[in-house]
Amino acid sequence: MHRSPATERLRGAAAAFLVACLAATFLTAASPADSPVDVPEPAGLWEGALQGYTPKTLAGATVLDGPQLDALIAGGSVVLVDVSEAGPTPPNQPAGRLWRPIHRAIPGSIWLPGAGSGTLTPPEQAALADRIAALTQGDRGRAIVTYCHPDCWGSWNLGKRLVGLGYRKVHWYPEGIEGWQERHDTAAIHPDETWTRRAQDGAGP
Amino acid sequence: MRMSHRAAALSAGLFLAALAAPVTAWAAAGDDAAERDARWKDLQQSIFGNRPVETAKPLVRMDLPDRANDASLVPLTLTIADKDRIKGLYLVIDDNPAPLAAHFTFGPAADPEELKLRVRVNTYTNVHAVAETKDGALVQTTQFVKASGGCSAPMGMTDEEAMKGMGDMRLKFADAAPGKPIAATLMIRHPNFTGLQMNQVSREYTPARYINRISVTYGGKNVFVMEGDISISANPVINFAMLPEGKGPVTVVTQDNQGGRWERSFDAPVASN
């Protein structure tokens, strides 16, 4: 089969990218310092694939390691926000198949799946701003922690948005659920209903 | 056929709706054990109904690493103590999205003392092996395993490459000795796509395509039937043993959830002194 050089180049780039992603998959609980590449902070939100190496910093926010997160939680009154993606439900499941997805995260967290996207629609952005305002009871000085998984841009993006919304104590925990479960119990949590309802209402044309 | 991004988003929405239904109070740290136990009780009810599952004297020993190097390829050995009493074996990986990983039913040509296979583990979870005896009792063994992401880890190649040679099977026998069980290793080429693996280039989920049934017969007698799901690793490798009295070929039939069916017969080894 004939392939154009452009296609070949694309395939090469795709293969290299896959290798990078695969490497990322097996780097469990990698701290951002372990990133083999030095990723600069983008000027705005990251709009590419959410899985990939992230920067070591987030301007306007504090980057936490495990012990720092423990100390912050011990201080109380922290809003923990998990922006992990929800897995898909495969279509056409055979009757009687046992299908019981479960999501384990830091106990006490609010799960806002999809909120880490760099391309939220204006209604989704409004829903997110409302939800965060409600969760912090309108206090922009309230401590907030965003997280998902290692090498996940979603929590970086949410942190960036919150800084932009004027929150003054935004924390990003890049080691995410995998980092947490190395040291602590996790809890099964469900998507935040208010966010899910608003995000669904607001999504799509 | 691929799932479009919109379809993926829609099904993610359905997933959310399914998850959102029972909203529990925040679990405080330390509730983990109780929560895991509640999960198992629920799964047990779904799989076995009201049948009691004994815990007192386990019939199965389960060996798997406490911490897996590769969550999509976790080696698991099941050793059965009272093998003549055993009719079947259920393997449940509690926190995988499809928790019932495999159900083995042994036939008259089986020597069910030891089974080995490789599984996917999606998050730190309990794994349960439940033996079913010929008189209908269920006896469980459990172990906790630390691994995560095994069901969503991409395979590191294109889907087309992963599906190349799908259904090819090999069966290797250990050296046979007269009167001794015949140890065999079954290797099947099949990606066992979970439906949760996102192609990192196209950003689409590869549709689930997994082996849901493997049957092995020896000279027309059943060795085992395994009903499987996405928790079995890609390119399954299963170690098992057969009783030596069989006459005729060993035939393996593999089927998947997309209607794939592959059959191959192998010559059983001849015992040498």
pLDDT in tens, B81-96: 889 999 999 999 999 9
Residues of A in contact with B198 (CB under 8 A): 51
Give how far A170 is from chain B: nearest CA, Å: 22
Q: What is the DSSP string of A167-201?
A: -SEEEE-TTHHHHHHTTS--EE--B-HHHHHHHHH
- The residue of chain A with its CA nearest to that of B123 is A104
| Cα–Cα distance measured from residue B228 to residue B91, given in angstroms and rounded to the nearest whole number | 10
| Cα–Cα distance measured from residue B98 to residue B47, given in angstroms and rounded to the nearest whole number | 12
B22 at A interface, C-beta within 8 A:
yes
As for the ipTM of the complex, it is 0.84
| Cα–Cα distance measured from residue A176 to residue A130, given in angstroms and rounded to the nearest whole number | 24
CB B237 within 8 A of CB B185: yes
Considering only CB atoms, A91 lies closest to which of B11, B13, B123, namely B11
Inter-helix orientation angle A153-164/A122-135, to 10°: 80
Residues of A in contact with B123 (CB under 8 A): 102, 104, 181, 186
Considering only CB atoms, B98 lies closest to which of A51, A98, A113, namely A98
Among A100, A149, A194, A200, which would you mutate to test the B interface (most chain B Cβ atoms within 10 Å of its Cβ)?
A100
DSSP code at position B63:
E
- Nearest 5 degrees, angle CA B24-CA B30-CA B32? 60
Cβ contact, residue pair B26, A97, below 8 Å: no
- Phi, psi (deg, nearest 5) at residue B58: -60, 140
Cβ contact, residue pair A86, B26, below 8 Å: no
Considering only CB atoms, A25 lies closest to which of B31, B95, B153, namely B153
pLDDT in tens, B33-76: 899 999 999 999 999 999 999 998 889 999 999 899 999 999 99
Sign of CA dihedral B2, B6, B12, B17: negative
Structure tokens at A179: 């980092």
Of the candidate ranges A83-92, B113-122, B229-238, the one whose mean pLDDT is the lowest: A83-92
Mean pLDDT over all residues of chain B? 88
pLDDT in tens, A167-192: 999 999 999 999 999 999 999 999 99
* Residue B249 neighbours by CB under 8 Å, 6+ apart: B218, B219, B265, B266, B267, B268
Higher pLDDT, residue B156 or B116: B116
- The residue of chain B with its CA nearest to that of A80 is B26
Please tell me chain A's helix, strand, coil percentages from 3-state DSSP, rounded to the nearest 5.
Answer: 35, 10, 50
Confidence of residue B273 (pLDDT cuts 50, 70, 90): low
Give how far B178 is from chain A: nearest CA, Å: 42
Residues of B in contact with A101 (CB under 8 A): 15, 18-19, 97
pLDDT in tens, B126-154: 999 999 999 999 999 999 999 999 999 88
- From the list B146, B165, B139, B133, the residue with the least C-alpha distance to B234 is B165
Q: What SS3 class is residue B91?
A: strand
- The residue of chain A with its CA nearest to that of B72 is A26
Asked if pLDDT for residue A29 goes beyond 60, the answer is no
Asked if pLDDT for residue A19 goes beyond 60, the answer is no
Please name the residues between 76 and 115 in chain A that touch chain B, using a CB distance below 8 Å: 85-91, 94, 97-104, 107-108, 113-114
Higher pLDDT, residue B24 or B10: B10
A142 at B interface, C-beta within 8 A:
no
- The residue of chain A with its CA nearest to that of B26 is A108
Q: What SS3 class is residue B84?
A: helix
Give how far B59 is from chain A: nearest CA, Å: 25
Which residues sit opposite A205 in a β-bridge? Answer: none
